[in-house]
Amino acid sequence: MDVRTYRAQTMHDALLLVRRELGPDAAVLHTREVQRSRLFGLLPGPRHIEVTASAGVNVPSRLAPNRFSRSADLEDAPAPPPPPPLAPTADRTETPVLPTEMQAQISDLQKMVEELCRSSHHGVQPDLPEGLFHLFTELLDAELSEDLARELVERVRDALPEAHINDPALMKSCLAGIVESELRVSGPIATVAGRPRVAALVGPTGVGKTTTIAKLAANFRLRERRRVGLITVDTYRIAAVEQLRTYADIIDLPMQVVSSPTGMREALGRFCDLDVVLIDTAGRSPKDEVKIRELKTFLAEAGADEIHLVLSAAAGERALIETAQRFATIGTTALLLTKLDEATGLGGVLPVVRSSGLPLSYLTNGQNVPDDIDAADPRRLARLVLGMSPEPTN
Ligand code: GDP
């Protein structure tokens, strides 16, 4: 079994190296991200992707989709020869001398693994043609999970006639269309005649709720000439109250601080002739059930028309899904993604949209008030999720 380790800046490049050196039947055994340090370990160095692959045995890996051969090739292939003794790998400089008994055990184990692979290979999904394989590695580089990347390229394969499977531009636009169709949007906060539209922002501390409220308020007031009021339910994080008050003063807006559900009702009563009321809430740890229940009581009292769950796009897939689940009990109506400018990939966006079933409302991409916010656009977001450059605007 010839096991080698390759390093490159991206998964795509690393897998191309594997394919070039070990051929189309190479099996990926392991992948990991490594970061070298510079200046005697004082500074972080560049990130690399490290792929360990073998040209020999059909070892099923966590990266089963990365197997390069088509299933037909596998079926036609003659039975593999008996395993050779452990060969030195590219990384190893010397072969350790093992006791005979241990060598026999390793040889037995190796045979068992090969047998397992042979018997399970019919269960492995058909492998990817070259064009789709490239697409797959690009999705991994955009930080989509392997499962999601695999699912999406399979859907492209199903959607396109075979002749188009090697046309990168066509495959990408097909892929973008698939993702776009899953990204529902709620549209921006819509004012209604005769009463204020009440929208609350909830979410963990530090995701950007107060800053986003300031962006929304400034745009409503200064660009759309709406009458806006701010309420904050920040009962214990004094700094956040002051932060919102500063924005309220600059934009020249009325603001109320409430510390009880009754106070909420009174504050809304005072704002009854406005067009929009935006409610800021103190960060609630998604793990703190009591605080989340308390928040629910406040928002029920407010009769909020919209409850936007604010999530940082820089968070990982699991954190996003868990946070959305915890806040679901409040009755969240939309997802608002912040910090797109800080995210290295948006691989968690589609999974959290799927699991929460919520539409997207706004996207923010910087700290500047009021400019760094846009109503969510599925077409643009789909391209961002897939790591594609934004479409040129005419
Ligand atoms: P809150 O605790 O959820 O109210 O969060 P804040 O509004 O206090 O924001 C926390 C930090 O995130 C502040 O430093 C903001 O300037 C920053 N922030 C908010 N939105 C964005 C964004 O879209 N991009 C970036 N890079 N930073 C943001």
pLDDT in tens, 289-335: 678 888 899 999 999 999 999 999 999 999 999 999 999 999 999 99
**Helix or strand or coil: residue 192?**
strand
Residue 252 burial (10 A CB sphere; 0-12, 13-18, 19+): exposed
pTM of the model: 0.73
- pLDDT for residue 228: 97
Please give the distance, rounded to the nearest whole angstrom, from the Cα atom of residue 211 to the centre of ligand 1. 6
Place of tokens 């990817």: 128
Strand partners, 306: 199
- Say which residue, 55 or 300, is predicted with more confidence: 300
Cα–Cα distance, 52 to 30 (Å, whole number): 5
- Write down the pLDDT at residue 253: 96
On whether the CB atoms of residues 187 and 308 are closer than 8 A, the answer is: no
Whether 217 has a pLDDT exceeding 90, the answer reads yes
Cα 347 to chain centroid, rounded: 3
Distance 226 CA to ligand 1 centre (A): 24
Ligand 1: which atom is nearest the Cα of residue 373? 23
* Backbone phi and psi for residue 233, each to the nearest 5 degrees, phi listed first: -100, 35
Q: What is the mean pLDDT of the chain?
A: 82
Q: Which of 14-23, 55-64, 230-239 has the highest mean pLDDT?
A: 14-23
Report the candidate in 28, 140, 163, 380 with the shortest Cα–Cα distance to residue 153. Answer: 140
Under 8 Å between Cβ of 319 and 289: no
DSSP 95: P
Contacts of 158 (CB under 8 A, 6+ apart): none
The reply to whether ligand 1 has any atom less than 6 angstroms from the CB of 130 is no
Question: Any idea which of 5-14, 56-65, 139-148 has the lowest mean pLDDT?
Answer: 56-65
Mean pLDDT value of segment 44-69 = 58
Backbone angles phi, psi at 364, to 5 degrees: -120, 145
Quick check: CB of 382 below 6 Å from ligand 1?
no
Say yes or no: CB of residue 137 within 6 Å of ligand 1: no
Q: How far is the CA of 203 from the centre of ligand 1 (A)?
A: 12
Mutate to test the pocket of ligand 1, among 202, 210, 211, 384 (most ligand atoms within 8 A of CB): 211
Q: Which amino acid is at 188?
A: P
d(CA 238, CA 243): 9
| 273 closest CA partner among 233, 237, 227 | 227
| Nearest residue to 169 (alpha-carbon basis) of 394, 377, 393, 389 | 389
Name the residue of 367, 374, 384 whose CB sits within 8 Å of the most ligand 1 atoms, as the mutation to test its pocket.
Answer: 367
CA gap 339, 348 in Å, rounded = 13
Span of 32-41, 200-209, 214-223, 384-393 with lowest mean pLDDT: 32-41
Q: Looking up tokens 């309420």, which residue turns up? A: 231
- H helices of the chain, where? 11-22, 71-76, 100-120, 130-141, 146-159, 168-182, 209-218, 238-251, 261-270, 289-302, 317-327, 349-356, 378-385
**What value does the mean pLDDT take over residues 18-36?**
78
**Looking at residue 290, what is its pLDDT?**
72
- Closest by CA to 312, choosing from 157, 153, 204, 221, is 204
Percent of the chain whose predicted confidence (pLDDT) is above 70: 77
Q: Which residue has the tokens 């479409």?
A: 391
Atom of ligand 1 nearest to the CA of 203: 3
Which residue has its alpha carbon closest to ligand 1 atom 16? 367
The verdict on the CB of residue 285 being under 6 Å from ligand 1 is: no
Residue holding tokens 């946070």?
A: 323
Q: For 69-120, how does the pLDDT look when each residue is reduced to its tens digit (9 = 90+)?
A: 323 333 333 454 444 444 444 444 445 566 777 777 777 777 666 555 544 4
How many Cβ atoms sit within 10 Å of the Cβ of residue 250?
12
Q: Whose CA is nearest to atom 20 of ligand 1?
A: 208
Chain Cα centroid distance, residue 326: 18
Which pLDDT value is given to residue 27?
79
Pairing status of strand 43-54 against strand 3-8: antiparallel
Phi (first) and psi of residue 378, to 5 degrees: -60, -35
Q: Which amino acid, 338?
A: T
- Burial environment of residue 6 by CB neighbours within 10 A (0 to 12, 13 to 18, 19 or more): buried
Peptide linkage before 370 cis (omega within 30 of 0): yes
Q: Which residue has the higher pLDDT, 103 or 213?
A: 213
